Amino acid sequence: MAASRPLMHAAQRTSTTHPSFAELGLPPVLVQALAKAGVEKPFPIQRATLPDALAGRDVLGRGRTGSGKTYAFVLPMLARLAQHPAKRRPNRPRALILAPTRELATQIEAAITPLAKPLGLRTLTVFGGVGAHPQISGLRAGVDIVVACPGRLADHVQTGHANLDSIEITVLDEADHMADLGFLPVVRRLLDKTPGNGQRLLFSATLDAGVDVLVKRFLTNPVTHSVDSVKSPVTAMSHHVLHVAGDSRVPVLVDLASAPGRTLVFTRTKHGAKILARKLTSAGVPAVELHGNLSQNARTRNLTAFSDGSTNTLVATDIAARGIHVDDIALVIHADPPVEHKAYLHRSGRTARAGAEGTVVTLMTDAQVTDVRDLARRAGIKPTVTRLSSGHPLLAEIAPGDRELVYPTSAVNSASVVRSRTGVRRQGQGQGSRRRKPSEGARRPGGVTATGASSAAAFSSSSRPNQRRRSR
C-alpha cells in the first residue's frame, strides 16, 4: 500500500529530545489506552520508528531483545488500520504479524488486545500445537489482524481458509530468529501472497542469517533504525561464570534457584530441560519446563505459572530465549552454556529488560572451559569467574535472600505439571508440602575449592567438550 498521509504532519511534531506518544503522532484513543496500561513514555526504538511507520513507510528496525519492539510495530499498525476503516471480510485479514514461536505470538496478541478494543479492531492468533478448527472459524468470521507462526498460517493458506491478498500491513518480528529456525522459505512464500504495495515492517536483533535477503526482496526503500548494538544488553547485567564439578551442578542450581525472585534456567536440549526440572523439584525447588516436546496446553500452563508467580523457576530450551516476555526475572542461568554467542545474548536478554538490572550465571565444567572462554569473547563480556561448589558465599551475593525449599509429600511424576493449584510453592506453607531451610540440612556439604586467580587461570585452559546438537 502506498505511503498515505501521516497521522501528524512532521512540522507539527515537537523538537524535544524525548517526544511523547502524542507528539510522535499517535491518535488520542491509543495514547489513552497506553496510559491505562501504565505505558506513558516511548522507548528509543519506538521514538525512532513510529513517525516513519505511521507515515506508511517500510521500516527496518534493529534493536536488542527487551528494547520495546512490540509496541514499535503494534502501535502504527493499529493507528493506520483505524485511520482507514474497512468492513471485515471472511478469511481475508487486513494486517499480518509473523512471529517465530507460539509464546511470542500469544504475547504479541496480549499486547494488542487492550489497544485494539477501543478502536473496534479484532485480532486472532494462528499457530500449531492446538486444534485448527477454532482458528478456521475465527478467520471465517473475519478479523482485522492475524498474529501467526509461519507453519500453521501456511497450512490455512493452502487449504483456502486464509487469503492474504487483502493484507495492508505486514510485520516480521524476530526475523533473525525465524531465519535461525529455518522458517525463511515459508516466510517468503507467505510474503509473496501479500500485495506488493503493502507496508512492511521488519524488526530484528541482527541483520544476518538471511534477514538481508528478506529486506532486499520484500521491503521498498526501507527506513533503517538501529537504536543499539546487538551486544548492548550485556552492559546492564552482572555476568558470572561458575566453574563447578559435575556433581556440584545441580546443588549449585538449587542454591541459586531457591532464593527469592524468578529464575530462568536454560538447557541445550528438550530432554535436558525435562530432567533438570524434575531434579530441581525433587530437591525442593518447584520448577516447570518449557520446550518443544510439550503440548501447547502444557506450554501455556507452565508459562502462566511462571508469569503469575505460582512457580518461580522455569527450565527451558532456547524456545524461551526469544519467545517469552516475563517481567522481573532476576536471574538467568545457563545450566548448559550455549554454542553461539547470539544465543547467549538472547537468553541473557530475558533479564535486565526495559532498563532494569539483572544477573546472568553460566555454569562451566572442566571440559567446557575453552568453549565458555570463546563464548564470552564473542559476546563481548568479561565475566567474573569463580571455582566453587554449593555453599560458597558468592552464591548468596549473586542471588541474595533467604533460601526456601519446598518438598511435596508424594513422588513427583512429571515436572511439567504446574503447581499453582497444589499448594506447593516457594513462598508460603501450603497443604501437602513440607518446607525447610538449608540450615536444616537441605544443602549438600561443600565449599570453596578455588577462587580468584586460580579460577581465572582455569578459564584460560584449552579443553573443549563434544558439543551436543541443539534442540528446541
For the stretch 120-166, pLDDT in tens is: 999 999 999 889 999 999 999 999 999 999 999 999 999 999 999 99
Residue 156: which of 124, 181, 185, 184 has the closest Cα? 124
Q: Is the pLDDT of residue 2 over 60?
A: no
37-71 pLDDT, tens digit per residue, is 889 899 889 999 999 999 999 999 987 666 688 99
Q: Is the pLDDT of residue 272 over 60?
A: yes
For residue 33 the three cell numbers come to 489506552
- Measured CA to CA, the distance from residue 132 to residue 158 in angstroms comes to 13
Q: Where are the beta strands (DSSP E) in 72-216?
A: 95-98, 123-126, 145-148, 169-172, 199-204
**R_g of the chain computed on alpha carbons:** 23
Class of domain 10-226 (CATH, top level): alpha beta
Domain 233-459 class, CATH top level? alpha beta
The residue ranges of every structural domain in the chain are: 10-226, 233-459
Q: Please tell me the distance from the alpha carbon of residue 365 to that of residue 208, in angstroms, as a whole number.
A: 31
Pick from 57, 72, 64, 70: nearest CA to 219: 57
* Average pLDDT rounded to a whole number, residues 245-259: 95
What confidence tens digit (pLDDT) does each residue in 320-329 have? 666 567 777 8
Quick one: average pLDDT of 333-353?
Answer: 82
Could you tell me whether strands 358-364 and 405-408 are parallel, antiparallel, or unpaired per DSSP bridges? Answer: unpaired
Query: From the centroid of its chain, how far is CA 153?
Result: 21
* Distance in angstroms (rounded) separating the CA atoms of residues 203 and 72: 9
Per-residue pLDDT tens for 6-19?
333 333 333 346 89
pTM above 0.95, yes or no: no
85: three-class secondary structure by DSSP = coil
